[in-house]
Amino acid sequence: MESIFALVLAKANYVVYIILMMVGLYAMIVKNNLIKKIIGMSIFQTAIILFYVSIGYKRGATIPILEHHASPETAVHGAEKIVAHAMDTVNVANYINPLPHVLMLTAIVVGVATLGVALALAIKVYNTYGTVEEDEINQQLRSG
C-alpha cells in the first residue's frame, strides 16, 4: 500500500492530468447542452497540453533560454560576439527540455482553431433550431 502511494506521488502530475482529461471527456459525452460539450472539448485538449509540458520538467532547471548577460560592449549583436558567448559550456541539466514546449505551442493553436470552428457551427445550429439543448433538437428532428 505504501509503495503504491509512493509510486503515485512520484508521478503525481500525470495522475492529475489524466483526471482532468477524463473530466473533459465526461463533459463531451454525457452533457446535453452543445456549449457544455464544446467546453468539455476545450478542457480535454488543455489537459493534454499540460500533460505534454510536464514531460519536459527537470528538477532544479530553469527556462530554456540560454543565459547571456548584455553588457555595453555587446550591445551591438555581431556574429562574432554571439559565437564568443557560445564558447561557454552549456550544461544540459540546467535547462528544461524545450521540445514539448514547441510541440504544445502548435497544439494550443490547433485547439483554438477547433474551438472557433465549433462555435461557428453551434451558432448555425442555434439559428436553425432555436435551441442548443441536444434533447430538444432531437425532439424537433423526430417530429419535424
Partner 1 sequence: MKILGKLTILLCGVLLMVFTMEFPDWGDPESPASTHLSPYFIQHTMDDTAVPNIVTSVLADYRGYDTMFETTVILTAGLACFLLLRIERKKVTHRYYRHEPTGVTLRMAGDKFPKNSEVFQRMDANWVPYDFIISRTCRLIIPFIQIFALYVVAHGHHSPGGGFQGGVLMGASVILFAISHNLRAAIKSFSEKTAALFSVTGVFIYAGTGALCLIFGEVFLNYSALAPLFGSDRIMARSHGILMVEIGVAVAVTAVMIWIYYNLSSAGKQDEGL
Partner 2 sequence: MTHHLPALIIVIPLLAALVTAGSGWINQKAPFRIAVAALFLAFICAVLMLIQVVTTGIAMEYRMAGWAGPMGIVYIIDHLSALVLVVITAVSTLNLVAQKKNIVSEFKDKEGAFNALYVLFTAGLIGMTATGDAFNLYVLLEIVSLSGYALIGLGNTRAPLATLNYLFLGTIGATFYLLGVGYLYIATGTLNMADLATIIPQNMESGVILFAFIICLTGLFVKMAMFPVHGWLPDAYSQATSVSAGLIAPLTTKVTVYIMIRICMTVFTPEYTFGHLDISGFIVLLAIVTIVFGSLSALAQKNVKRMLTYIIIAEVGYMVGGFFLGNRLGISGAILHIINDAAMTLALFLAAGIFIWKTGGESRSDLKGLFAKMPFTMAGFVLAALSVVGVPPTCGFFSKWYLISGGIQAGNYLFVAALIFSSLVNAVLFFRLFEIAYFEPFSEGQSHGGSSHGNHYSSGVFAIQEAPLDMLIPFLIAAMTLIVLGLYSGTIVTNIIQFAIPTGVI
Q: Which residues bind partner 2 (CB under 8 A)?
A: 25, 28, 34, 37, 41, 44-45, 48, 51-52, 55, 99-100, 103, 106-107, 110, 113-114, 117-118, 120-122, 124-125, 128-129, 137, 141
Residue 60 Rama label (left phi>0; alpha psi -120 to 50; beta): left
Amino acid at the residue 93:
A
Residue whose C-alpha cell is 433550431: 129
Q: How far is the CB of 140 from partner 1 (least distance, A)?
A: 19
Q: Which residues bind partner 1 (CB under 8 A)?
A: 7-8, 10-15, 18-19, 21-22, 25-26, 29-30, 54-59, 61, 63-66, 68, 79, 82-83, 85-86, 90, 92-93, 95, 97-102, 105-106, 109-110, 112-114, 116-117, 119-121, 123-124, 127
Q: How far is the CB of 101 from partner 2 (least distance, A)?
A: 13
- How long is the chain? 144
Cβ pair 53, 102 in contact under 8 A = no
Query: In the Cβ-directed half-sphere of 125, how many Cα atoms lie within 13 Å?
Result: 18
Q: Is 103 exposed, middle or buried (0-12, 13-18, 19+ CB in 10 A)?
A: middle
Q: Which does 136 bind (CB under 5 to 8 A by kind): partner 1, partner 2, none?
A: none
Q: Residue 9 is placed in which grid cell?
A: 506521488
Q: Which does 137 bind (CB under 5 to 8 A by kind): partner 2, partner 1, none?
A: partner 2
